[in-house]
């Protein structure tokens, strides 16, 4: 098994940054861990490479000429559930929440230790493709969870969810009618991330509610300061 792969599998990672030196440095770290990188140096090239390569995750810088990281994240998320990790030196404390609102899965500082970068990448990919998923299960209340296809359906209609939205909805369905605390939701949505910010929940659950509305499915109810409940 490689140092960074899931179940012995090396990952293919799209690394997007307008600084070739940084792409080279990160590529060396990822390569040592057994992964392959696809490099792009601006937003337009990132979208071209994403369209032509099968990648397991996207590592995306924020500040780039032309299309910036936010625009690239928005376009990728519109067509794919691939994990998107923002890798940036930005110091704006509001940036992580804004990027998560666009559909990014995690936010990584460039100064973060390499071991933690690798752990976050593995966690993001693991959330998208759990190992040895069980067969589809039906709850008896209209919900069906298919972990092999990474899909959740309401009365036979698939709810189009990103990797994190899938994990959040899955844990709510597993505890139908029960209050699921913020801590338990964060653990489900961001496994392996130390001290995930509770503010990350709101944008993901807001987008999930919109998708559930379209499917005429039950909506999670917020219990202020405590967690969320999905009624039976």
Nearest to 13, CA basis, from 47, 39, 42: 39
- For 12-128, CATH gives 3.40.50.2300
pLDDT tens digits, one per residue of 61-94: 888 888 888 889 888 887 778 899 988 876 656 6
**Alpha helices of the chain — where are they, by DSSP H?**
20-32, 43-52, 69-79, 95-101, 114-128, 163-174, 182-189, 201-214
Supply the pTM of this predicted model: 0.56
Q: How many residues does the chain have?
A: 232
Looking at the DSSP bridge assignments, the partners of residue 138 are 144
The mean per-residue pLDDT over the stretch 200-227 comes to 92
Reported as a pLDDT band with limits 50, 70 and 90, residue 1 is very low
Place of tokens 């959040």: 168
Q: pLDDT of 126-137, one tens digit each?
A: 876 544 445 555
Per-domain residue ranges for the chain? Answer: 12-128, 137-229
pLDDT at 4: 41
Q: Give the strand pairing for 179-181 and 227-229.
A: antiparallel
Here the tokens at position 110 are: 């460039």
Sheet architecture: strand order including 179-181: 179-181, 227-229, 221-223
Does the pLDDT at position 39 exceed 80? yes
Q: Which CATH number is associated with domain 137-229?
A: 1.10.10.10
Is residue 21 scored above 60 in pLDDT? yes
Mean pLDDT across the chain: 84
pLDDT at 85: 92
Q: Identify the pLDDT of residue 30.
A: 94
């Amino acid at each position: 098994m490689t140092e960074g792969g899931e179940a012995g599998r090396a990952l293919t990672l799209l690394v997007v940054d307008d600084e070739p030196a940084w792409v080279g440095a990160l590529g060396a770290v990822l390569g040592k861990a057994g992964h392959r990188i696809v490099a792009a140096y601006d937003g337009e090239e990132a979208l071209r490479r994403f369209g032509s390569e099968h990648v397991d995750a996207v590592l995306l810088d924020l500040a780039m000429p032309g299309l910036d990281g936010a625009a690239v994240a928005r376009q990728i998320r519109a067509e794919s559930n691939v994990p998107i990790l923002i890798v940036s030196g930005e110091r704006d404390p509001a940036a992580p929440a804004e990027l998560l609102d666009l559909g990014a899965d995690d936010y990584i500082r460039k100064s973060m230790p390499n071991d933690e970068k690798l752990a976050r990448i593995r966690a993001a990919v693991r959330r998208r493709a759990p190992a040895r998923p069980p067969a589809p299960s039906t709850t008896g209340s209209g919900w069906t969870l298919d972990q092999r296809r990474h899909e959740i359906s309401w009365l036979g209609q698939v709810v189009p969810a990103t990797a994190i939205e899938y994990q959040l909805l899955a844990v709510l369905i597993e505890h139908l009618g029960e209050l699921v605390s913020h801590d338990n939701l964060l653990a489900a949505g961001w496994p392996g991330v130390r001290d995930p910010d509770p503010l990350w929940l709101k944008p993901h659950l807001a987008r999930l509610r919109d998708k559930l509305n379209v499917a005429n499915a039950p909506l999670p109810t917020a219990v202020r300061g405590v967690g969320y409940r999905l009624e039976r």
